[in-house]
């Protein structure tokens, strides 16, 4: 049965985002398993905490990551912890090659239908 009310869509979406607490970037395409996470740089790359907001089952969180020189970002991922943790989800993003240290911004979106 499909969810009929926005209230229930919101409850279901909150279950997803309650576990999805950290965003990450990767250099290989994520799917049913994680891609290769970015590392290194100065300032150093790190996973970023996600603060979700929204309504009616559509929630978003934004994060900006430090990316080291010589890295090509191809995917974004969601984890349950700042280090290690459980890989929960991932998707491709607009690929960007970094010839020098830079930043990459991602808006993560979860839609409960």
pTM of the entire structure?
Answer: 0.91
**3-class secondary structure, 111:** strand
pLDDT tens for residues 11-20?
888 888 889 9
Residue 78: both structure tokens together: 């969601």
pLDDT tens for residues 60-110?
999 999 999 999 999 999 999 999 999 999 999 999 999 999 999 999 999
Q: Which of 4-13, 46-55, 104-113 has the lowest mean pLDDT?
A: 4-13
| pLDDT greater than 90 at residue 32 | yes
Q: Are 41 and 101 in contact (CB under 8 A)?
A: yes
* DSSP, residue by residue, 30-85: -SSS---B---TTTTP--EE---EEETTEEEEEEEEEE-TTEEEEEEEEESSSSS-
pLDDT, position 91: 96
pLDDT, position 3: 86
């Amino acid at each position: 049965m499909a969810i009929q009310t926005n209230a229930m869509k919101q409850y279901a979406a909150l279950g997803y985002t309650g576990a999805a607490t950290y965003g990450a970037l990767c250099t290989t395409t994520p799917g049913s398993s994680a891609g290769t996470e970015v590392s290194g740089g100065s300032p150093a790359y790190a996973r970023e905490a996600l603060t979700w907001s929204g309504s009616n089952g559509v929630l978003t969180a934004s994060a900006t990551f430090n990316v080291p020189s010589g890295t090509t970002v191809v995917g974004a991922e969601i984890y349950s912890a700042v280090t290690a943790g459980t890989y929960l989800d991932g998707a491709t993003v607009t690929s960007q090659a970094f010839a020098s240290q830079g930043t990459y911004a991602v808006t993560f979106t979860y839609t409960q239908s």
